[in-house]
Amino acid sequence: MPVSVALYDKTLDRIKPQIDALGLDITLHPYTAEGLFGPLTDGAMPTKPSDMDIDYLWLSPDHSSDGTLSTAFTLAKDLRSLKVLQTFNAGLDHPGYRPIADRGVRICNSSAQAIAISEYVMAHVFDVFQPLAERRELHASRTWQRTPFREIARTNWLIFGFGPIGRAVAKRAKAFDATTTVIRRSPATSDTVDVCGTLADIDKFLPEADVIVIACPLNDETRGLADAKFFSALKPDAVLVNIARGAIIDDAAMMTALDEGKFATAVLDVFHTEPLPADDPLWAHPKIRMTSHTSFNGSGVRQRWLELFLDNLPRYVRGETLLNEVAPNDIP
C-alpha cells in the first residue's frame, strides 16, 4: 500500500522532481491555498480534508510566505486521519500544533534554521563588542585613531536551550575560545559545552555570564523566565540575545534593568506581539538592538528545509527513526 503524502500544491510544483528522484512507493496529494485536495483530473471535484487519510503531511515554509498557515493548520486538524506532520517551524508554541498533537499525530520540527540563527547571534555579539559604527565614522572623516574592542575569547556564554540552535551557537562560541555554559533539561556536557545545568542552576550561572543567549522553547517553565530577579543577577557589561520567543522576557523588567545599568545591551529578534507596534517603547530604547524576527532568514535555510523533508520522508517509508520528532509533552 503506497504511503499517502500531502503537500501544499505550490510546494509540490516546485519540488516534484526531487521527490520523484527518491523512488519511493508513495502517493502525492496536493492541496490548495483554500485547504482542499485536488482536483487531480479534469472535471473532478475538490476533496475535503475530512474525507482524506494521510500518512505524512509536510507543512512547508511556503505557507508562511503566502499567509496560508492558519488554513494549513485547519486542514491538518480536519483530516480524517493523519500519522506524521513535519513542519518548517523550530518552535511549536503556535496554538495550531496542540490540537493536532492531541489526535496522536507525530510531529517533527525543523533544525534548518540553526545555522542561520547562530550566525545572527555571532554577528550581533560582534557588533556589540566591536565599535564598527565608530570605525566607519573615523574612516569617513579620514581620522587616524585606534579603537579598542572587547574580545569574545575567554568570555562566558550562557545558553538557554540545547536543541539544534543552542548547539550551533555553542559550537561557534567555542570556536572563538569562549567558555560555554548550557541550561537544559538533562545536565550533560559535550565537546562544545564546558558546564551544563538545569533551570534550577540559573542563580549560580547568571552572575558569571558575559553573553546570555535565549534559545529555549516557550512553555510553562520558560514563560516570563527573564524577569526582574533574572536581570538583577547580571553583570553590568552583559549582553542578552533573544532568538527564541518574546514571551520568555518580561519587557518592562528588562527595560528597567537596562535603565539602571544592571546589564549593558539587549539584542531582540522576537517579541510578545509581532509585528511590533510602532508605538512600543522597545523601539526607542537606546540599549536595545532590534530586528524583525529575521534571524532565521539565511541564504541556506530554504534548501535545508527541503533537504530535511527529503531525508525524513524516506525514513518514514522505510519505518526508520524520524529526525526531529518532538515528544507530545514538549508541545505547549
**pLDDT reading at 40 higher than 60:** no
* pLDDT attached to residue 43: 60
Q: Say if residue 146 is exposed, middle or buried (CB neighbours under 10 Å; 0-12, 13-18, 19+).
A: exposed
Residue of 137, 221, 274, 320 with catalytic role: 274
Cell of 89: 517551524
State phi, psi for 144 to the nearest 5 degrees: -90, 100
**pLDDT reading at 153 higher than 90:** yes
How far apart CA 154 and CA 236 sit, in angstroms, is 17
Catalytic (active site) residue 285: no
Q: If you search the block for the grid coordinates 536543541, which residue do you land on?
A: 163
* pLDDT attached to residue 306: 98
pLDDT tens, 215-253?
999 999 999 999 999 999 999 999 999 999 999 999 999
**Domain 114-290: which CATH class?**
alpha beta
CATH topology for the 3-112+300-326 domain: Rossmann fold (3.40.50)
- Asked if the domains 3-112+300-326 and 114-290 are classified in one and the same CATH topology, the answer is yes
Least confident of 40-44, 140-144, 284-288, 299-303: 40-44
pLDDT top residue among 68 and 42: 68
- Cα torsion 330, 332, 315, 162: sign: negative
Residue of 14, 150, 223, 293 with catalytic role: 293
Q: Where are the domains of the chain?
A: 3-112+300-326, 114-290
Cell of 258: 537596562
pLDDT tens, 265-323?
999 999 999 999 999 999 999 999 999 999 999 999 999 999 999 999 999 999 999 99
Residue 150: count other Cβ atoms within 10 Å of its Cβ: 15
How far apart CA 102 and CA 77 sit, in angstroms, is 10
Contacts of 100 (CB under 8 A, 6+ apart): 73, 76, 77, 82, 85, 107
Residue 140: count other Cβ atoms within 10 Å of its Cβ: 8
Least confident of 38-42, 53-57, 71-75, 321-325: 38-42
Catalytic (active site) residue 274: yes
Answer for the pair 33, 71: CB distance below 8 angstroms, yes or no. yes
Quick check: pTM over 0.75?
yes
Catalytic (active site) residue 80: no
